[in-house]
Amino acid sequence: MKQLMLGNQAVARGLYEAGCSVVSSYPGTPSTEVTEEAAKYEEMYCEWAPNEKVAMEVAFGASLAGKRSFCGMKHVGLNVAADPLFTVSYTGVNAGMVIVVADDAGMHSSQNEQDSRHHAIASKIPMLEPSDSAEAREFTMRAFELSEQFDTPVILKMCTRVAHSQSIVEPGERITPPVKPYEKNIAKYVMMPGNAKRRHPLVEQRTRDLIAFAENCEFNRVEMADTSIGVITSSTCYQYAKEVFGDKASVLKLGMINPLPEKLILDFAAKVDKLVVIEELDPIIENHCKQLGLTVTGKDVLPMEDEFSQNLIAEKLGLPVPAGKKLEETMPARPPVMCAGCPHRGLFYTLSKNKCTVLGDIGCYTLGAVAPLNSIEMTLCMGASISSIHGFNKALGKEAEGKTVAVIGDSTFMHSGMTGLANIAYNQSNSTVIILDNSITGMTGHQQNPTTGYNIKGDPAGKIDLESLCRAMGFEHIRVVDPYDLKQCDTVLKEELAVEAPSVIISRRPCALLKYVKHNPPLKVDTDACRGCRSCMKLGCPAISIKDKKAVIDNTLCVGCGVCQQLCAFDALKA
Amino acid sequence: MTTNVMIVGVGGQGSLLASKLLGRLLLDQGYDVKVSEVHGMSQRGGSVVTYVRFGEHVYSPIIDKGEADFIVSFEKLEAARWMEYLKPGGRVIVNTQEIDPMPVITGAAQYPTDLVAKMEALGAKVDAMDALAIATEAGSAKAVNIALMGRLSRYFDQITEEAWLEALAASVPAKFLELNRKAFSLGRAE
């Protein structure tokens, strides 16, 4: 029966139907739902791994053991997993292994706009690129077959608009793939120099074989129409191009993006008057065409940055563009904000008040950088807060130590904060690290992690105790605070900044959006007592505003956390 | 012929459920449908947009400037923000609720005034309603999304109310169905 499915949900369906057995991933927008949806099928073992490198190695282990396996991640996650990626290319697989990487052109929820196709090229691993949900399902299933046929993992590249768009899918039944018993094969699987040297030529031969495959595989499709323009494109850009051109251009749609075909492109080019390459981010197809000696229109008119749309393509190619009318006045922006009752708010208020230099990390709490808290001054990548504070303090010494902190969430800490903390413990910088433990992976929509005590299905699981972990690393100063208690936060922060030793503060309170968290009734404003001093506004809580010089509480948002009450000198905010 | 519906609002207002209902309905009606959502960071109280496109064959999952037949807005300022996406003469269904964005809360900006009149002055057909009052009357402030879908349903002549209610039943948990049916009917009727 036809169903509307998110691209990510369709990938999960493809995993199920292809007989995949083991799924290990780390959440990251826009890839998260693949694994969340996969976990709804009882037939597959699914888990959240601490990070993408671990996930990929888990998937490799399962493939080695003879079961079809999968790992999924966002574009920057593939950087974390790049170490196993480049060598699993050499070992190849036993049972099929598929990797999803989801790029985020337009940076809807990311810190950079990298083009993951470079990873496929650099690691010499084939990459497929679906353009809608139906293809996401089909390509996932075919990826397992390719993986086994060519003895290589296969990367399926998603992007925000394919991952997070729903389109029609016709699901099928699950197959039981043939068993691939594990066999000891030291020459294939032990990548020490002598063996790797013998594997590398096989990788090069595999690429030649895959180029031959790409020349007439079902992933690459020619749609001949008017021949005055020939468009070469892939992924969501195919959909935009069809929207713009309809039958007014011929299209070569590439579903296999690494390696790229040669003869297929040359033959298509020979049939059209003018070639246009439409691809988001880097000119990978375009440069390939140029290497083949073709003249193409591409990044000379189309941008290298941000996502495309039908209007953008039409405009850049000099075609008519629909126009709307906008209001003349500028609308106030509506940036994302920490939720009402967010436990991070009280902690950031304390840091802001103490004028701390705050090195931040990746998660909801990155919003600690925006007004009015303006607290975080650096965010780079997962785990960088802890490693960087060590470098910062080693560089500046006393000048920095007493006022600099690193902040990192519980899930990010498990992902790649622990190694940075080990460095502080080992090389002893006088650093203060704050772990914002909200007992969940918040930003990506509430995934469990090794500190929560629950697994992907919400069943009880192992639980890593943060205090014990820090103690085991040799930290003597480990403090736990409740971020709803501003006085306690302030006292402990001052004490730990003053200490001449590495220290960890755990700011612990569950995410206000977790279903099990019980909220208090909304607060009320005593309008006689309120002087309109705006002290409560320093928190940047979306539930508080000032109307007619008095504080107003939005009772659809307020969860009665009481943090604002602690800032009111006139006792105007009542429970 | 593709019909384009943009659902805009503030993260957390329930636009994903509205698009789920719409997608389900249109699929049942035999259309090709694409729905494009935004997940992740902007969901945290930021400006969010969902695109729903349907017709015989839909290519692009997104709606561009000047293309929307309908903008369904959960909040007044958000309707105004996305006006450029409306087709000339297109219809705006707007919840008149005002939710102050952070620059307004902090005093760095003012909430714009007379937005409905300004949108009408641009040639838009504006259907303004207090969806929050309707949702509250139906039993939950959270049903704003369904009240607005009720209003949208008035403009889809080809689709019966019965079909909408079937899609609604398939989209919301059984224990909330009655209040959502009520929000839908009140939104449609008013």
Q: Domain check: are A31 and A153 in the same one?
A: yes
The number of beta carbons lying within 10 Å of the beta carbon of residue A360 is 27
> Residue A156 is encoded by which pair of tokens?
């399926």
Cα dist. A154→A69, A74, A85, A129, A149 in Å?
Answer: 11, 16, 10, 11, 11
> Residue A152 is encoded by which pair of tokens?
């290589």
Is the pLDDT at B45 greater than 90, yes or no? Answer: no
The answer to whether B170 faces chain A, any CB pair under 8 Å, is: no
- Under the banding of pLDDT at 50, 70 and 90, the label for residue B12 is confident
- Closest Cβ opposite residue B41 in set A132, A236, A443: A443
**pLDDT for the residue numbered B41:** 59
Q: Domain check: are A545 and A416 in the same one?
A: no
Q: Cβ A239–B109 below 8 Å, yes or no?
A: no
Q: Domain check: are A160 and A240 in the same one?
A: no
- Under the banding of pLDDT at 50, 70 and 90, the label for residue B19 is very high
Phi-psi region of A479 (alpha: psi -120 to 50; beta: other; left: phi over 0): beta
> Residue A255 is encoded by which pair of tokens?
């579903």
Whole-angstrom distance between the N-terminal and C-terminal Cα of chain A? 53
The pTM of the full predicted model, rounded to 2 decimals, is 0.97
> Is residue A563 one of the residues assigned to a domain?
yes
Neighboring chain B residues of A240 at a CB cutoff of 8 Å: 59-60
Closest residue by Cα to residue A10 from B60, B15, B35: B35
**Chain A residues 138-177 with a CB less than 8 Å from chain B:** 161-162, 164-168
> Is residue A134 one of the residues assigned to a domain?
yes
- Which residues does residue A545 pair with via DSSP β-bridges, in sequence order? A552
Neighboring chain B residues of A251 at a CB cutoff of 8 Å: none
Is the pLDDT at A9 greater than 90, yes or no? Answer: yes
The answer to whether A319 faces chain B, any CB pair under 8 Å, is: no
Q: Domain check: are A365 and A472 in the same one?
A: yes
The answer to whether A320 faces chain B, any CB pair under 8 Å, is: no
What number of C-beta contacts closer than 8 Å exist between A and B? 192
> Residue B167 is encoded by which pair of tokens?
């899609």
Helices (H) and strands (E) counted in chain B, each on its own, are: 8, 6
Amino acid at site B143:
A
Is the pLDDT at A492 greater than 70, yes or no? Answer: yes
The answer to whether B117 faces chain A, any CB pair under 8 Å, is: no
Q: Domain check: are A60 and A140 in the same one?
A: yes
> Residue A45 is encoded by which pair of tokens?
């073992």
Neighboring chain B residues of A319 at a CB cutoff of 8 Å: none
**pLDDT for the residue numbered A37:** 98
- Closest Cβ opposite residue A108 in set B32, B42, B101: B42
Residues of chain A above pLDDT 90, percent: 97
Is the pLDDT at A40 greater than 80, yes or no? Answer: yes
Contact predicate A158/A103, CB 8 Å: yes
- Under the banding of pLDDT at 50, 70 and 90, the label for residue B1 is confident
Query: If you average pLDDT over residues A109-125, what whole number do you get?
Result: 97
Say which CATH number the domain at A252 has.
3.40.50.920
- Closest Cβ opposite residue B36 in set A161, A327, A370: A161
Say which CATH number the domain at A532 has.
3.30.70.20
> Is residue A324 one of the residues assigned to a domain?
no
Note the residue count of chain B.
190
> Residue B24 is encoded by which pair of tokens?
């389900």
- Which residues does residue A127 pair with via DSSP β-bridges, in sequence order? A155, A258
Contact predicate A416/A382, CB 8 Å: yes
Give the gap in angstroms from C-alpha A543 to the nearest C-alpha of chain B.
Answer: 9
Q: Domain check: are A296 and A350 in the same one?
A: no
Mutate to test the interface with A, among B59, B87, B115, B132 (most CBs of A within 10 A): B59
Q: A428-442, B43-57, B116-130: which range is least confident on average? A: B43-57
**pLDDT for the residue numbered B79:** 97
Burial of A184 (0-12, 13-18, 19+ CB in 10 A): exposed
> Residue A201 is encoded by which pair of tokens?
């030529």
The answer to whether B91 faces chain A, any CB pair under 8 Å, is: no
Is the pLDDT at B43 greater than 90, yes or no? Answer: no
**pLDDT for the residue numbered A471:** 98
- Under the banding of pLDDT at 50, 70 and 90, the label for residue A371 is confident
Q: Domain check: are A367 and A275 in the same one?
A: no
Closest residue by Cα to residue A571 from A521, A538, A524, A530: A530
The answer to whether B160 faces chain A, any CB pair under 8 Å, is: no
- Chain A residue with Cα closest to B140: A556
Q: Cβ A323–B141 below 8 Å, yes or no?
A: no
- Closest Cβ opposite residue B38 in set A108, A312, A554: A108
Sequence-distant (6+) residues with CB within 8 A of A556 are: B141
pLDDT digits (tens, 9 = 90+) for A213-269: 999 999 999 999 999 999 999 999 999 999 999 999 999 999 999 999 999 999 999
Q: Cβ B39–A132 below 8 Å, yes or no?
A: no
Helices (H) and strands (E) counted in chain A, each on its own, are: 21, 24
- Which residues does residue A253 pair with via DSSP β-bridges, in sequence order? A221, A233
Give the gap in angstroms from C-alpha B103 to the nearest C-alpha of chain A.
Answer: 7
- ipTM at complex level: 0.95
Q: Could you give the count of Cα atoms lying within 13 Å of A136 in the half-sphere of its Cβ?
A: 33
Is the pLDDT at A160 greater than 90, yes or no? Answer: yes
**Domain end among A146, A181, A215:** A215
Closest residue by Cα to residue B68 from B84, B47, B49: B84
Q: Domain check: are A471 and A556 in the same one?
A: no
Contact predicate A443/A29, CB 8 Å: yes
Q: Cβ B44–A240 below 8 Å, yes or no?
A: no
- Beta strand A550-553 pairing with B32-36: unpaired
- Under the banding of pLDDT at 50, 70 and 90, the label for residue B58 is very high
Cα dist. A297→A286, A293, B171 in Å?
Answer: 8, 13, 45
Distance CA A489, CA A377 (A): 20
Mutate to test the interface with B, among A327, A536, A554, A559 (most CBs of B within 10 A): A327
Q: Cβ A4–B35 below 8 Å, yes or no?
A: yes
- Beta strand A256-258 pairing with A127-128: antiparallel
- Average per-residue pLDDT for chain A: 97
Neighboring chain B residues of A242 at a CB cutoff of 8 Å: 59-60
> Is residue A337 one of the residues assigned to a domain?
no
Q: Cβ A322–B66 below 8 Å, yes or no?
A: yes
**pLDDT for the residue numbered B190:** 64
Q: Domain check: are A437 and A544 in the same one?
A: no
Give the gap in angstroms from C-alpha B9 to the nearest C-alpha of chain A.
Answer: 10
Say which CATH number the domain at A493 has.
3.40.50.970
**Chain A residues 431-450 with a CB less than 8 Å from chain B:** 443-445
Rg of the Cα atoms in chain A: 27
> Is residue A190 one of the residues assigned to a domain?
yes
Is the pLDDT at B126 greater than 80, yes or no? Answer: yes
Q: Cβ B106–A372 below 8 Å, yes or no?
A: yes
Sequence-distant (6+) residues with CB within 8 A of A426 are: none
**Domain end among A215, A247, A269:** A215
Q: Cβ B66–A335 below 8 Å, yes or no?
A: no
Is the pLDDT at B38 greater than 90, yes or no? Answer: no
Is the pLDDT at B42 greater than 60, yes or no? Answer: no
- Closest Cβ opposite residue A236 in set B61, B64, B68: B61
- Closest Cβ opposite residue B61 in set A108, A239, A371: A239
> Residue B10 is encoded by which pair of tokens?
């503030």
As for how many domains chain A has, the answer is 4
The answer to whether B123 faces chain A, any CB pair under 8 Å, is: yes
Q: Domain check: are A401 and A488 in the same one?
A: yes
Strand, coil or helix: B10: strand
- Average per-residue pLDDT for chain B: 94
- Chain A residue with Cα closest to B54: A167
- Beta strand A154-159 pairing with A127-128: parallel
pLDDT digits (tens, 9 = 90+) for A389-441: 999 999 999 999 999 999 999 999 999 999 999 999 999 999 999 999 999 99
> Is residue A490 one of the residues assigned to a domain?
yes
Query: If you average pLDDT over residues A19-30, what whole number do you get?
Result: 98
The answer to whether B113 faces chain A, any CB pair under 8 Å, is: no
- Closest Cβ opposite residue B64 in set A32, A309, A325: A309
> Is residue A545 one of the residues assigned to a domain?
yes
Give the gap in angstroms from C-alpha A79 to the nearest C-alpha of chain B.
Answer: 20
**pLDDT for the residue numbered A335:** 87
Distance CA A139, CA A99 (A): 12
- Which residues does residue A407 pair with via DSSP β-bridges, in sequence order? A434
**pLDDT for the residue numbered B40:** 61
Q: In the 3-class helix/strand/coil scheme, how is A212-257 assigned residue by residue?
A: HHHHCCCCCEEECCCCCEEEEECHHHHHHHHHHHCCCCEEEECCEE
pLDDT digits (tens, 9 = 90+) for B94-122: 999 999 999 998 888 999 999 999 999 99
Q: Domain check: are A453 and A535 in the same one?
A: no
Q: Which residues in A315-417 belong to E strands, given as ranges? A: 357-359, 376-378, 404-409
Cα dist. A287→A190, A208, A283, B50 in Å?
Answer: 36, 19, 6, 34
Burial of A181 (0-12, 13-18, 19+ CB in 10 A): exposed
Q: Cβ B105–A367 below 8 Å, yes or no?
A: no
Is the pLDDT at B16 greater than 90, yes or no? Answer: no
Long-range contacts made by residues A371-379, C-beta under 8 angstroms, separation at least 24?
Answer: A371/A540, A371/B102, A371/B103, A371/B106, A371/B108, A372/A537, A372/A538, A372/A539, A372/A540, A372/B106, A373/A345, A373/A348, A373/A349, A373/A539, A373/A540, A375/A348, A375/A351, A376/A348, A376/A407, A379/A111
With the CA atoms of A358, A364, A370 and A371 taken in that order, what torsion angle do they form, in degrees rounded to the nearest 10?
Answer: -110
Neighboring chain B residues of A109 at a CB cutoff of 8 Å: 39-42
**Domain end among A196, A215, A234:** A215
Query: If you average pLDDT over residues A131-160, what whole number do you get?
Result: 98
**Chain A residues 275-294 with a CB less than 8 Å from chain B:** none
Sequence-distant (6+) residues with CB within 8 A of A46 are: A23, A24, A35, A38, A39, A456, A457
Q: Cβ A165–B61 below 8 Å, yes or no?
A: yes
**Residue A10: φ, ψ to 5°:** -70, -35
Domains parsed from chain B with CATH numbers: 3-104+112-189 (3.40.920.10)
**Residue A435: φ, ψ to 5°:** -95, 120
The answer to whether B182 faces chain A, any CB pair under 8 Å, is: no
Note the residue count of chain A.
575
Label residues A366-383 b or e (16+ Cβ within 10 Å = b): bbbbbebbebbebbebbb
Residues of chain A above pLDDT 70, percent: 100
Give the gap in angstroms from C-alpha A428 to the nearest C-alpha of chain B.
Answer: 35
Q: Cβ B10–A331 below 8 Å, yes or no?
A: no
Q: Is the backbone peptide bond immediately before A259 cis, with ω within 30 degrees of 0? A: yes
**Chain A residues 368-387 with a CB less than 8 Å from chain B:** 370-372
Burial of A427 (0-12, 13-18, 19+ CB in 10 A): exposed
Distance CA A440, CA B100 (A): 28
- Chain A residue with Cα closest to B61: A165
Q: Cβ A338–B44 below 8 Å, yes or no?
A: yes
Distance CA B156, CA B5 (A): 11
Q: Could you give the count of Cα atoms lying within 13 Å of A98 in the half-sphere of its Cβ?
A: 33
**pLDDT for the residue numbered A46:** 98
Domain span at residue A304 reads: 221-316
- Under the banding of pLDDT at 50, 70 and 90, the label for residue B14 is confident
Query: If you average pLDDT over residues A363-388, what whole number do you get?
Result: 96
The answer to whether A111 faces chain B, any CB pair under 8 Å, is: no
Q: Sign of dihedral through CA atoms A371, A373, A375, A378?
A: negative
- Beta strand B86-95 pairing with B68-73: parallel
Rg of the Cα atoms in chain B: 16
> Is residue A127 one of the residues assigned to a domain?
yes
Strand, coil or helix: B160: coil
Q: Domain check: are A229 and A208 in the same one?
A: no
> Residue A41 is encoded by which pair of tokens?
């099928």
